[in-house]
Structure 1
Amino acid sequence: MKVSLAQLQRGQKGIIQDFNIDLIPLKLLEMGCLPGNEVQLLQTAPFGDPLYLTINDCHLAIRLETASIIEVEISKENQL
């Protein structure tokens, strides 16, 4: 099931599928936010922004606005 990264629930894992490369900061690309890599939502800030993630064993926080344009496919073992 494909959803945006912003729609993941805490603890869910997914595989990055697609995004508009022109809208993603270069720093995220350098840290492994690329199609085919696994991402897991670890925590959400109290007001829902930013999201705290792990991508390829790197921990990072990204804005909800950025997360909403990254398409992921939820891992089968984590589907709700």
Structure 2
Amino acid sequence: MAKQESFETALHTLEEVVDRLENADLSLEEALASFEQGVGSAARCQKLLQAVETQVEVLLKKQDQTFTVEKFKE
């Protein structure tokens, strides 16, 4: 089984893709392949962030035996 990509790795990949799309002279096929890779990395980041949010909510619940959902402040 392949090891899952970490958040940091997925974010770094996404940043590289954005840089490549913004600054490189890519063919249509290369741009599409890069875009597809970026969408995959963005989805991985979102999935990992949602998992962390759920974990934080569970930890907050355990802390004081009451449960209030607090939205993350950006």
TM-score between the two structures when normalised by the length of structure 2 = 0.22
From the two aligned structures, give the one with the greater strand fraction: 1
- Quick check: which has more Rg, 1 or 2? 2
Greater per-residue helix proportion? 2
Calculate the TM-score normalised by the size of structure 1: 0.21
